[in-house]
């Protein structure tokens, strides 16, 4: 509780202070709020052959005029990533292009994660933290004969950086393909404690996970291996606040398809992913984690 009080005090003190950032590219991210799963899937798909989405669902947050999911276009290439979808633990409308004018941008929806969400988030935040303001997109898909790989480009950033690195506020992002998180880089999950987080200009986000260490665009390429011709593959994108519901983290995703969309630095996840039939056991495991998991006292 003490750290939460200190955090809220520092947020109030710093909200109007600009952040020193590395000069970015010309900015052109334009965000449109959207809470319809099918619309997000349409914006995410790269149009490459051999992949068919057969179902989708979205769990996102709304409050007043704020929404935690949407689509974006990026005509001039902020962060170098193409147009796609945006998911956040805050209001996606706060993360279009522009100068970084505050160190404490936050939308506090105040919604706790479900037990199944906690089971997905715990492995990527390093422990049994409380998670809040979760946004996650689920979809199922089939691939054609001879197709065995799927790809995504991702840019992850957070307002938790750099003040809350090493604390319990480990905001994080995961991509679960057939029950396995493929969103790792240099052996580490995608969260604010990643050693490649850095100040990079372009949006309101204070820190961006830069796989190039300053030598190129901060895009992570994630690749998953599926069974050739397999059906009923499952995919979950999930992002959340950890430890409290303050300070947003946000992810931009583009190029879901069967070909490398280009521009990204290869991350993890290039190992054989379990076949969809193995997911029954995985689901039982998640249920068990949800039952036995003990939350921290508020």
pLDDT digits (tens, 9 = 90+) for 104-122: 999 999 999 999 999 999 9
State both tokens at 251.
């992810």
Residue 284's contacts (CB-CB under 8 Å, 6 or more residues apart) are: none
What pTM does this model have? 0.87
Q: Read off the pLDDT of residues 177-220 as tens digits, 9 standing for 90 and up.
A: 999 999 999 999 999 999 999 999 999 999 999 999 999 999 99
> Residue 280: which pLDDT band, with cuts at 50, 70 and 90?
very low
Q: What was the pLDDT predicted at 10?
A: 52
Q: What was the pLDDT predicted at 273?
A: 55
Contact 116, 290 (CB under 8 A): yes
Average pLDDT over residues 152-172: 97
Higher pLDDT, 21 or 69: 69
Q: What was the pLDDT predicted at 275?
A: 65
Q: b/e string for 233-272 if b means 16 or more Cβ within 10 A?
A: bbbbbbbbbbbbbbbbbbbbbbbbbbbbbebbbebbbeee
pLDDT of 137 higher than 70: yes
Average pLDDT of the chain? 87
Q: What was the pLDDT predicted at 292?
A: 34
Q: What was the pLDDT predicted at 88?
A: 98
State both tokens at 172.
């994080």
pLDDT of 15 higher than 80: no
Across 170-174, 188-192, 254-258, 292-296, least confident range: 292-296
Q: Percentage of residues in the chain with pLDDT exceeding 70?
A: 81
Higher pLDDT, 69 or 15: 69
Alpha-carbon distance 75 to 97, whole Å? 11
């Amino acid at each position: 509780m003490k750290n939460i009080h200190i955090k809220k005090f520092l947020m109030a003190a710093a909200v109007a202070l600009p952040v020193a950032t590395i000069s970015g590219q010309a900015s052109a991210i334009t965000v449109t709020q959207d809470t319809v799963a099918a619309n997000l899937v349409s914006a995410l798909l790269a149009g490459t052959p051999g992949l068919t989405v057969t179902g989708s669902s979205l769990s996102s947050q709304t409050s007043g005029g704020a929404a935690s999911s949407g689509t974006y276009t990026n005509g001039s290439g902020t962060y170098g990533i193409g147009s796609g979808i945006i998911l956040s633990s805050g209001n996606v409308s706060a993360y279009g292009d522009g100068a970084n004018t505050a160190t404490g941008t936050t939308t506090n929806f105040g919604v706790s994660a479900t037990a199944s969400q906690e089971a997905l988030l715990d492995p990527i935040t390093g422990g049994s933290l409380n998670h809040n303001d979760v946004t996650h997109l689920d979809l199922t898909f089939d691939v054609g004969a001879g197709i065995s790989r799927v790809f995504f480009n991702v840019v992850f950033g957070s307002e938790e950086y750099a003040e809350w690195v090493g604390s319990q506020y480990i905001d994080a992002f995961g991509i679960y393909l057939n029950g396995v998180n493929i969103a790792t880089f240099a052996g580490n999950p995608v969260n604010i404690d990643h050693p490649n987080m850095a100040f990079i200009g372009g949006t309101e986000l204070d820190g961006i996970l830069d796989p190039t260490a300053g030598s190129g665009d901060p895009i992570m390429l994630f690749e998953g291996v599926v069974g050739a011709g397999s059906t009923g593959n499952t995919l979950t994108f999930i992002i959340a606040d950890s430890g409290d519901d303050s300070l947003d983290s946000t992810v931009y995703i583009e190029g879901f398809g069967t070909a490398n969309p280009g521009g990204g630095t290869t991350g993890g996840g290039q190992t054989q992913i379990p076949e969809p039939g193995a997911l029954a056991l995985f689901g039982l495991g998640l249920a068990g984690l949800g039952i036995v998991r003990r939350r921290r006292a508020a």
